[in-house]
Amino acid sequence: MFRPRAAMLTLYGDYVLHKGGEIGIGSLVRLLGNFGLSEQAIRSAVSRMCRSGLLKAKRINRKSYYSLTSEGHSLLAEGAQRIFQRKESHWDGNWNIVTYSIPERMRQSRDRLRLELGWMGYGPLSEATWISPYDLTREVKNLLRRLNIEEYVHIFNARHQGSTDPKKIVARCWDLGKIHQMYADFLAEYRPKLAGHQKRLRAGETIEPSECFVARFNLIHEYRKLPFFDPDLPLELLPKNWLRPQAAALFNEYHDSLTEKANEYFDSVSREYRGTSRTKTEGAKGTNERPYSGGNPPAGFPLGMGAKLSAGKSR
């Protein structure tokens, strides 16, 4: 069962942003109704997202249309960067180390720092010492200025001088077994679905646009969870059978194969509820744009494994 806010973010990221940037409430109700969401739940989610500053409304011929605010754009863009611009660089042997001693009276800022470090891909070597194989000093400094805690945090770039295998350090800071299993589960579920879809196409079967829309929506909604748990560590620090490349390749292939007809369904619903002969969505029918995806972490997201919470907002 989809949560209304999460489903809204997926819809805006995968479709609305690439097709005019706004959508009517009637279209939202029709499209998200495919996933068991009631009209009341959708309208309530829209109202909450407007109040929280993620959406803005305008009226045209007594109909309401909703688009993302700049804050909403930023939230989706941050999630998209993490999901669709995966790190591929090699490790130079250095660790970027963030250590802090923040007073108890600033507990909220301390907790926020830990969440943000996790989102950026740092892992906890100890409670107050976090490490990353990537030099993210600039990003961390920006975060510290935003939280106004610069005097309590220190950043180092250093090499480990002990005899411990770097892979053992990684295993201590990140739950690789859990991440690996998540990729395995994704592949086990979606490999047969992709194979079945391709078999139907080869047989010349007509697949309805609505079916492709639902399949692509489910695909992106499931895949978007994975990068929030995976810090994109360099491959030389990971087990040899790491499944991230296979999962990413499968996602891209299946997503692209569903795109044209999924867009066709979205466009038809948008035209129906807008009630005009031409809409902003026309002309984008065949787009293969990589979707944005909401920057909030999935349910059950563990501290220190890569989260982004939107300034006090929950899903």
Per-residue model confidence as pLDDT tens for the chain (315 residues): 688 988 998 899 888 888 888 899 999 999 999 999 999 999 999 999 999 999 999 888 778 889 999 888 887 777 676 666 666 678 999 999 999 999 999 999 999 999 999 988 999 999 999 999 999 999 999 999 999 999 999 999 999 998 899 999 999 999 999 999 999 999 999 999 999 999 999 999 999 999 999 999 999 989 988 888 899 899 899 998 999 999 999 999 999 999 999 999 999 998 887 754 334 433 333 444 555 444 444 443 333 333 333 333 333
Residue 109 lies in a domain: yes
151 and 201 share a domain?
A: no
Geometric angle at alpha carbon 72, from 3 and 25, rounded to 5°: 60
Token reading at 125: 């070597």
125 and 205 share a domain?
A: no
From CA 73, how far away is CA 67, in angstroms rounded? 10
181 and 264 share a domain?
A: yes
Range of 16's domain? 4-83
The answer to whether residues 78 and 308 touch, using CB atoms and an 8 Å cutoff, is: yes
Give me the CATH number covering residue 46: 1.10.10.10
Boundary of a domain, candidates 130, 159, 188: 159
With b for 16 or more beta-carbon neighbours within 10 A and e for fewer, the 211-246 pattern comes to: bbbbbbbbbbbbbbbbbbbbbbbbbebbeeebbbee
Q: For the whole prediction, is pTM greater than 0.85?
A: no
Q: Give the count of domains, the chain.
A: 3
Residue 294 lies in a domain: no
Residue 278 lies in a domain: no
The answer to whether residues 35 and 217 touch, using CB atoms and an 8 Å cutoff, is: yes
262 and 186 share a domain?
A: yes
User: Taking the CB of residue 247, how many other CB atoms lie within 10 A of it?
Assistant: 21
Residue 88 lies in a domain: no
* 76 exposure class (CB count in 10 Å sphere: 0-12, 13-18, 19+): buried
Give me the CATH number covering residue 134: 3.30.70.240
